[in-house]
Structure 1
Amino acid sequence: MSDEVTNARHKRSRTEYRQSQQQRRTELKQIVFDDESEISDKVKLPKKKYYRQRAHSNPFSDHLLEYPKSPKHMDWSTLYPALIPPLSEIENSELPIKKVEIADIGCGFGGLSVSLATEFPDTLILGMEIRVQVTHYVEDRIIALRQKHAKDGGYNNVAVLRANAMKFLPNFFEKGQLSKMFFCFPDPHFKARKHKARIITSTLASEYAYLIREGGVVYTITDVLDLHEWMVKHLDAHPLFERLSKEWEDTDKCVAIMRMDTEEGKKVERNKGDKYVACFVRLPDPE
């Protein structure tokens, strides 16, 4: 069989799979939250090979992204329909509404977000990813998990959103809304002229300090020593962050999840590489 024929078949297979997944997303959004529906043993998690994309994305590109004018304009019911009412109902309601408290920035294939969902079942968790196909994979993964756990309502507290976290975080989150922010194996941008694209800089550290509440924690992990030192340097220099001790890291369950449940973390483990962790607590605002 010629390479052209083989490639054509693979391309057709991927296209058909994406189309079926898109149709499934549309159908499941109406039935996946029905507590009376039976759990189907035939539900399978999506396959990464059908969601191939470049490993990195330029955060300064002019991406075609949708984002709210401000946090109060964000309709979270589209992501958490089982837990949050539509925006039109919230505006006329005096009842407390759940808000996202944990943000997985650059969530990749969603390993961390999914694990956190079971560790914190009463907390809303949002994975944010800029790559289109990777975001689609995580969305399909969450839909499948929700369907598998329809009877117990599992994974209704986790969602994924395609967004550029370097530009639009304040459009989604209010001041002090977040309790935890994760930066797991971010793009190292090795070249010096690319360092401005790193996800943690002096300017962005101030933005994270605005979004995370007092006592909240910023988690970082990477297998690149230079990037680890860069992130530590910029967060250490910020007056509203203080690095937590190695002893604290060794007892924190989120650090353990971050080390082992991300796809990159598993890859580093297989290759017997190093993982560099640094966690920073949000200090109280000065008087």
Structure 2
Amino acid sequence: MISVKYKFLRKMELSLPQKRYYRQRAHSNPIADHSFEYPSCPSDFDWSTLYPEIKNSNQMIEFADIGCGYGGFLVTLSELFPDKLALGMEIRVKVSDYVVDRIEALRKLHAGKYNNIACLRTNAMKYLPNFFEKAQLSKIFFLYPDPHFKKAKHKWRIINQSLLSEYAYVLRKGGIIYTITDVEDLNQWIVKHLEEHPLYEKVEDEYLKNDPIIEKLYESSEEGIKVTRNKGSRFLAIYKRI
């Protein structure tokens, strides 16, 4: 007979982590010299440490959620595309720790599920080509990125001409960049840079109507839920690699 105490301890062991223990400042300087470990090239990284089901497979990551926050959208991707590998990249140490612990807890609670997602603490503005091969990714997501309002900090924004060239390097032809923000000025900045870059073009509205991801962009992430709660506006910019 299993004791009540054992059942309680087992339930606690399998419960999801609580965000209040992982709180951190919302902003991080991506240009600062943080301490990161990264491979010299993508083939040097042992991906089986993050994805237990690819130990004997050549399957590669296809989706990258840049600045994945607390991992809500990453979990949604796992459920939408159970046969695709997705990686969340987050610069804040406590937030990335939370996502790692959240995924581990989900795997224990739901045997055989959520093995296709993982999270790394890293700086995508500096090390993206260290983790992804040329033309490897089919989708890159920037959901509610830090707007860095002050003009002097616009250089910290995750979308600019030089970074778009790096994203084009890791995106395959026809691969898509998804962006959403509640800051109209930031959306205008993103659209301007994507329109001016020779390797991107706006995705046709007809395609978007049939894309199951679109409706998930609004409230799958914790930031999206907060925008809805505050009745804020949302601005989409979705472009494809040509």
Considering the TM-score relative to the shorter chain, is it more than 0.5?
A: yes
The residue correspondences of 1:186-265 to structure 2 (distance < 5 A) are 186-265=145-224
2:87 paired residue number: 126
The match for 1:184 among 130, 143, 146 is 143
1:147 aligns with 2:131: no
Contact 1:104–1:182 (CA under 8 A) maintained in structure 2: yes
Q: Whole-Å Cα distance in 2 between the matches of residues 262 and 66 of structure 1?
A: 27
Contact 1:83–1:156 (CA under 8 A) maintained in structure 2: no
Post-superposition offset of 1:83? 2.0
Instruction: Give the 3 Å change call, closer, same or farther, for CA 274–248 of structure 1 in structure 2.
Output: farther
1:151-171 Cα offsets, whole Å, 9 max, x none, are xx1000000000000000000
2:124 paired residue number: 165
1:82 aligns with 2:53: yes
Amino acid at match of 1:77: S
Determine helix, strand or coil for the equivalent of 1:254.
Answer: coil
1:51-72 Cα offsets, whole Å, 9 max, x none, are 0100010001111100000011
1:68 aligns with 2:35: no
Larger Rg: 1
1:111 aligns with 2:72: yes
Post-superposition offset of 1:41? 5.2
- Number of residues of Structure 1 aligned to a counterpart in Structure 2: 232
1:102-129 Cα offsets, whole Å, 9 max, x none, are 0000000001101000111011100000
Determine helix, strand or coil for the equivalent of 1:221.
Answer: strand
Q: Whole-Å Cα distance in 2 between the matches of residues 82 and 206 of structure 1?
A: 32
Amino acid at match of 1:64: S
The unaligned stretches of length 5 or more in structure 2 are 1-9
Compare 270-279 and 76-85 and name the one that shifted more.
76-85
1:222-276 Cα offsets, whole Å, 9 max, x none, are 0000000101110111111111134433432111111120111110001110010
Determine helix, strand or coil for the equivalent of 2:213.
Answer: helix
Q: Percent identity?
A: 58
CA RMSD of aligned residues (A): 1.2
The unaligned stretches of length 5 or more in structure 1 are 1-39, 86-95
1:173-219 Cα offsets, whole Å, 9 max, x none, are 00000000000000001111111110000000111111100111000
TM-score of the aligned structures, taking structure 1 as reference length = 0.79
TM-score of the aligned structures, taking structure 2 as reference length = 0.93
The residue correspondences of 1:44-59 to structure 2 (distance < 5 A) are 44-59=15-30
Q: Which runs of 4+ in 1 moved over 6 A?
A: none
2:63 paired residue number: 102
1:15 paired residue number: none
Q: Whole-Å Cα distance in 2 between the matches of residues 231 and 117 of structure 1?
A: 27
1:34 paired residue number: none
Contact 1:84–1:98 (CA under 8 A) maintained in structure 2: no
Q: Whole-Å Cα distance in 1 between the matches of residues 230 and 32 of structure 2?
A: 32
Amino acid at match of 2:76: S
Amino acid at match of 2:108: Q
Determine helix, strand or coil for the equivalent of 1:82.
Answer: helix
